[in-house]
Amino acid sequence: MSNFLRNYTLHILWVLVFLSIPIVTSPDLGDDMLAVGGFKRNFLSYVLLVVFFYLNYYVFIPRYYFAKRYFLFGAIVFFSYAMIVAIPEFVFEMKFNAPPIGSPNGPPPGFEGKFRMGPRPNGMFFILYGGSVFQFLLVLILSIMLRTRHQLRLLSSEKLKAEVSYLKAQINPHFLFNTLNSLYALTIAKSDDAPDAVIKLSNMMRYVVTESSNDLVPLEKEINYIKDYIDLQKLRIADASNLEFTIIGNTQGKRIAPLVVIPFIENAFKYGVNAEEDWHISIAIEITENDFILGVSNNKVNVQFSDDEASEQGIDNTKKRLEIIYPGKHELVIKDEPHHFNVHLKINWS
C-alpha cells in the first residue's frame, strides 16, 4: 500500500471514529436520534471540529503559526471556536421554557417543537459548553502537534537534500579551473600575488569543508569567504575598476547560514564579465542590528557556458535553503531583465 493511500485511509478512519463519539455517548441512543434536536446540534459541532482540524492543519498553522504571526493566528482560532458554537445554535434552537407537550398552553403531542433547540437560559452557556471548550482545545493542540511533527520531518528531509545540492555546487569546476589557471600564470610570471592567492583558495576550501555543515556560522567568517572569492575572481579580470564591492556595518556577534548568499555573487561573475564588452558588477552588503542586506547587480554580457541549467538549479536550491532556514524572515527579489540581472536579499535575524 502506498504512503498516500495509507495516509488517506488513516484520515478516513480517524474521522469516522471521531464522528462516532456523539453517537455512542448520546443519551438518546436507540431512539430516533435524527429526530432529537440535542443530538443533531452535538453531531454538527463534531463535524465542524473536523473541518476546523483540517483548516488549521493545512492553512492556519503553516500560514500564520509557523510564520510567527501569533496574534492573527489566535484571532482566527477564537473566531473558529465562536463559529463552532454559534452555527449549531443558529441551525437548531432549543426552547427550554416551552410549555409541556399536551398541556393546555403547550403544543399537541407529536409536535416537532419538542425537538427544536432555542436560546439557552442565562447562566447556562458555560455549564453547557464546558465540554465543547475541552473538545476544541483538544483538536487545536492535536492539530498543532501533528503539523509540527510533520513539518520537522519535512524540514529534515528538504534540508538534507538542499544541503547536498549546494555542497556539490560549491567550489564549482569553472571557478576552480579558472583560479588554478590564474595561479599558474602568476607562478610562471613569478608574481608576488601567487602565494597570497594560494592561501585564499586554501582558506575557501577549508571553510567549505569545516563550516558548511553547521546550521549557522559567525558572519565574519562568511564575509571573509566572500572577500576571498571576489579577490580570486579579480585574478582573471584585466580591469577591476568595473567591479564595485562595499560592506557597511559591524559583523561582530552575528551569525548566518553558511554559503547561503554566495550563489548570487557567483552568478554575477559567471554571466557579467567579458573583457571584450563594457561590463559592470556591483555587490553591496549592509549589516544592521536586525538585518543582513545583500544587493547584487550586473549587466548581461555574451558568455558561453554549457551548464546554464546547473546555474539555475543553484539559484533554485538557494531559494529553498532560504525558505527552510529563514521562513517568514527573509525577502528575496530577483529581477531578470534582458540586459541586467539584479538581486536584493534581506535576512532578518532578530
pLDDT, tens digit (0-9, with 9 covering 90-100), for 130-160: 457 888 888 999 999 989 888 888 777 776 6
Spans of all domains in the chain = 3-161, 170-348
The angle formed by the CA atoms of residues 87, 88 and 92, to the nearest 5 degrees, is 120
Residues 201 and 216: their CA atoms lie apart, in Å, by 22
What's the whole-model pTM score?
Answer: 0.55
**What's the pLDDT at 2?**
63
What does the chain come to in residues?
350
DSSP string, 19-79: HHHHHHT-TTTTS-GGG-HHHHHHHHHHHHHHHHHHHIIIIIIIIIITTT-HHHHHHHHHH
Helix, strand, coil share (%) of the chain residues, nearest 5: 60, 15, 30
What is the CATH superfamily name and number for domain 170-348? Histidine kinase-like ATPase, C-terminal domain (3.30.565.10)
Please say if the pLDDT value at position 323 is more than 70. Answer: yes
Q: What is the mean pLDDT of residues 19-40?
A: 67
Residue 311's alpha-carbon distances to 56, 77, 163, in angstroms, are 38, 43, 16
CB atoms within 10 A of CB 80: 20
pLDDT in tens, 221-238: 999 999 998 988 888 777
Q: What is the mean pLDDT of residues 339-343?
A: 91
pLDDT band at 206 (very low <50, low <70, confident <90, very high): confident
Please say if the pLDDT value at position 284 is more than 80. Answer: yes
**What's the pLDDT at 20?**
86
Residue 180 host element (H or E): helix 173-188
Cell of 163: 544541503
Share of the chain above pLDDT 70, in %: 73
Q: Give alpha helix (H) positions in 212-289.
A: 219-234, 262-272
Within 8 A by CB and 6+ apart from 13, the residues are none
**DSSP code of residue 117:** B
pLDDT band at 275 (very low <50, low <70, confident <90, very high): confident
Q: What is the mean pLDDT of residues 49-61?
A: 94
pLDDT band at 103 (very low <50, low <70, confident <90, very high): low
